[in-house]
């Protein structure tokens, strides 16, 4: 994988909770695997409330500076595309393109600030589907905000 082919766009804890109907009990009492976690703040935010989460993504092979630079290179393009195509979105939980862009940029900033620490704690792991570097039954809950996984 080449970083120039990646379009980083991270979600936050509130979005994960809404997408997966998660509550604080789920987050605190389960060991969670976040597949294709990318530059989301989910891992950081769950860890902050004493939850146990590991995020796996091919982007984690790159350095903090490389990922941060790629976010800077692509966020304007993504933002312009969202604004240009805003009628194709359902603006229910997020009211408009500006709010969406703000939320995603804040999530990615939290990720960047946590990335080196998370790498050293093995909360961010380089890898990708279908071959994950974990033993069977290592996690109680597996999430992916980009794929539907049937087991």
Any idea what DSSP says for residue 53?
E
The helix or strand, by DSSP H or E, that contains position 109, with its residue range, turns out to be helix 97-120
Whole-angstrom Cα distance, residue 41 to residue 107?
Answer: 5
Whole-model pTM?
Answer: 0.89
Q: What is the pLDDT of residue 146?
A: 62
47 within 8 A of 36, measured Cβ to Cβ: no
Tens-place pLDDT, residues 2-49: 667 767 788 999 999 998 999 999 999 999 999 999 999 999 999 999
Listed by start position, the domains of the chain span: 12-144
**In the chain, how many H helices and how many E strands?**
5, 4
């Amino acid at each position: 994988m080449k970083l120039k082919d990646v379009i980083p766009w991270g979600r936050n804890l509130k979005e994960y909770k809404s997408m997966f109907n998660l509550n604080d009990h789920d987050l605190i009492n389960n060991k969670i695997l976040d597949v294709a976690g990318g530059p989301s703040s989910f891992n950081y935010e769950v860890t902050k409330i004493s939850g146990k989460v590991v995020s796996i993504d091919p982007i984690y092979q790159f350095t903090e500076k490389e990922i941060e630079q790629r976010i800077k290179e692509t966020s304007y393009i993504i933002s312009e595309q969202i604004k240009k195509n805003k009628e194709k979105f359902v603006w229910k939980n997020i009211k408009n393109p500006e709010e969406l862009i703000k939320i995603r940029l804040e999530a990615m900033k939290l990720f960047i600030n946590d990335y080196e620490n998370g790498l050293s704690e093995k909360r961010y792991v380089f890898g990708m589907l279908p071959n994950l570097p974990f033993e069977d039954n290592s996690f109680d809950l597996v999430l992916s905000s980009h794929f539907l996984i049937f087991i």
